[in-house]
Amino acid sequence: MELEQVGATLRAYVAASGAVQAAAAVAGGIVTCDADGAVAVRRGPDDDPVALDVAGARPVGIGVEVRRLPPFAVDAERGEVSGPLGGLEHVAAGVLALSRAFGPPSVALAWPPTTDGTELVLSAREGEGVVVVIGDEQFELDERRPPR
């Protein structure tokens, strides 16, 4: 998949989900999209991010419905996330679907909004499930969630 299509897909995900940011580590580099829809790519570990023009690219379908949820309440000290029932699983399913759309061995990441700005990150790689990061702590979601 071309980097522009990856960027367009991330932009569509961010717009639909209300994520603060989404990113994908793919064969050609790391593509990021922020809440304003700005897309950038970093092609190598020593390269600075540069703007990526995705105007002519079409996003790929990810196979799941993504919807905007209210911000999550995060207690970093306790490793707890509170929000709508099934909300974290919904975000996890979307991030896992992104990683599948980009194909192995890609990694997809999303930063859903939180009530107080505490950083909450979900990452997924097909075949490895979803990891939730709160501060310096990592938590793996139960393998039954999100449903496959």
Residue bearing the bigger pLDDT, 124 or 147: 124
Map residue 76 onto helix, strand or coil.
coil
Residue 47: its pLDDT value, please? Answer: 92
Residue bearing the bigger pLDDT, 137 or 32: 32
pLDDT exceeds cutoff 70 at 147: no
The neighbouring-strand residues paired with 134 are 120, 137
Quick one: average pLDDT of 4-17? 98
Quick one: average pLDDT of 43-52? 92
pLDDT in tens, 51-66: 999 999 999 999 999 9
> How much of the chain exceeds pLDDT 70, in percent?
95
Say if residue 88 is exposed, middle or buried (CB neighbours under 10 Å; 0-12, 13-18, 19+): buried
Which pair of structure tokens corresponds to residue 33?
Answer: 């999209």
Q: What is the amino acid identity at position 110?
A: A
Quick one: average pLDDT of 2-20? 97
| CA 83 and chain centroid, separation | 18
Map residue 127 onto helix, strand or coil.
coil
Residue 110: its pLDDT value, please? Answer: 98
Alpha-helical regions (H) of 20-138: 87-102
pLDDT in tens, 74-93: 998 888 899 999 999 999 99
Residue 142: its pLDDT value, please? Answer: 62
pLDDT in tens, 100-141: 999 999 999 999 999 998 999 999 998 888 999 998 889 988
